[in-house]
Amino acid sequence: DAKTTQPPSMDCAEGRAANLPCNHSTISGNEYVYWYRQIHSQGPQYIIHGLKNNETNEMASLIITEDRKSSTLILPHATLRDTAVYYCIVRLTGTASKLTFGTGTRLQVTL
């Protein structure tokens, strides 16, 4: 699986958009980009994933560059409850592929 690079920490004011970047320059054509978050040692929570098109769900939007070498997770209106460690993971499709967690980005949402 391709390696990802994320900033170790970010701050965001409550109510503003949080934009979390991820670099995955060695991603291959059959690898998806997944985002999870972990709030204070709870089990990781799935957020969103995508292959090449931008994706949006009730939690967030995922913007993937045209060359697929980087992506951005967008939380449109961050709240204090969004304070967590966010993991960007590149993963092969198929049922046998595992998740390899890096160190993630610690997002702190402040008043």
- Residue ranges that bind other proteins, judged by CB under 8 A: 32, 34, 36, 41-46, 49, 87, 93, 95-96, 98-104
Q: Are 4 and 89 in contact (CB under 8 A)?
A: yes
d(CA 75, CA 20): 8
Of 17 and 99, which CB lies nearer to other proteins in the complex structure?
99
How wide is the angle at C-alpha 72 spanned by C-alphas 24 and 87, nearest 5°? 65
Name the residue nearer to other proteins (CB basis): 47 or 78.
Answer: 47
Cβ nearer to other proteins, comparing 14 with 59: 59
What residues form DSSP beta bridges with 109? 12
Residues contacting residue 27 through CB under 8 Å, at least 6 positions apart: 2, 33, 68, 69, 90
- Could you tell me the smallest distance in angstroms from the CB atom of residue 45 to other proteins? 7
Compute φ and ψ for 81, nearest 5 degrees.
Answer: -70, -10
Please say which residue, 8 or 111, places its beta carbon nearer to other proteins.
Answer: 8
Closest distance between other proteins and the C-beta of residue 67, in Å? 22
Q: How far is the CB of 92 from other proteins (least distance, A)?
A: 10
